[in-house]
Amino acid sequence: MSDRSIQQYETVAAAIRYIRCHAKNQPELAEVATAVNLSEHHLQRIFSAWAGISPKRFLQYLTKEHALDALKKSANTLDAALAAGLSGGSRLHDLMISCEAMTPGEIKSGGEGVTLYYGAAPTPFGLALFGWTDRGVCYLAFCDDDLQSRLEELFNQWPNASTQEDTQQATLLNGQIFPTMPQPGKLHLLLRGTNFQMKVWEALLQTTQGQFISYSQLAKTAGSPKAQRAIGSAVGANNIGFLIPCHRVIRESGESGNYRWGAERKQAIHAWESAAISPK
């Protein structure tokens, strides 16, 4: 990924922002292009380079109808996951993802004796800050103009750890998570949270690209069907964006809903993932 990918994402985010504000009027492509100060042809090129699909196809993935259809299709998949039992593992393209939880003692120590590595790199959804230890990735946050705030958030989670910037390794991690050409590999996550939050995040790890899940479906899958409000809090507490796919949680109405790293970014990820699994 390069700074060019960030520029492409910023254009896509601006287009989504305009569509969200004018959804009732169902704006045509020409209107969206004008709103982001581009010709239709130029907008077509940017969308195709960024997501591999046309703007028209991309916009279809942002509709409430598409979201509701995806929610219906996910029901059977979730029932199968419940029957089989949650495994705690996941697959992202060709990348196998495993995870483990920090112990209460480790959390209480504030990372004493641990080296916390960090670095920023450009992703398809803007700049991201990565954090990891020798035991795995513990942080992934998308940034806009708030990189310093994200750094402070990360360091506050590990107040007694030694910190070391490693931009080269962050770039390599970025290449694993958002590859140009997916390659087989493994990635381990180090999770910090309560037992309940772990169950919610583990349930999210069972979802797949292009799949949506409602808060009630997630509550059922996590074994707490009546705890929808607590489910929402657990989703919002996720510190490892994209890899623990809280972006796939939407409202039962088909509305995308809020996202810790921005509503436009959430919808951009929705369309990007849907495009990745759909025939071109």
Q: What would the pLDDT profile of 49-97 be if each residue is shown by its tens digit?
A: 898 888 888 888 888 898 999 898 887 666 655 555 555 567 888 889 9
Is 273 inside any structural domain? no
Q: Exactly one of 21, 99, 143, 246 is catalytic; which is it?
A: 246
pTM for the full predicted model = 0.91
CATH number at residue 148: 1.10.10.10
> Can you tell me whether residue 103 is helix, strand or coil?
coil
Residue 1 has pLDDT above 60, yes or no: no
C-beta separation of 114 from 158 below 8 A: yes
Average pLDDT, the chain: 89
CB 199 within 8 A of CB 208: no
Assigned domain for 278 exists: no
pLDDT tens by residue, 91-129: 888 889 999 999 888 899 999 999 999 999 999 999 999
Strands in the chain per DSSP E: 90-92, 95-101, 115-123, 126-133, 136-142, 162-165, 185-191, 213-214, 249-250
The mean pLDDT value for 257-275 works out to: 93
Give the residue, 37 or 73, on which the prediction is more confident. 37
75 with 21, same domain?
Answer: no
Q: At what angle do helices 263-277 and 40-51 cross, to 10 degrees?
A: 70
Six-digit token string for 236: 């919002």
Same domain, 143 and 226: yes
49 and 177 belong to one structural domain: no
Cα–Cα distance for residue pair 209/49, rounded to 1 Å: 20
User: Which residues constitute the domain of residue 106?
Assistant: 69-250
82 and 146 housed in the same domain: yes
Residue 246 is a catalytic residue: yes
Cα dihedral angle (60, 273, 119, 100), rounded to 10 degrees?
A: 140
**Inside any domain, residue 279:** no
Domain boundary among 43, 60, 77: 60
Number of domains observed in the structure of the chain: 2
Which residue would you say has higher pLDDT here, 91 or 200?
Answer: 200
Quick one: average pLDDT of 207-234? 89
Q: Do 34 and 129 lie in a common domain?
A: no
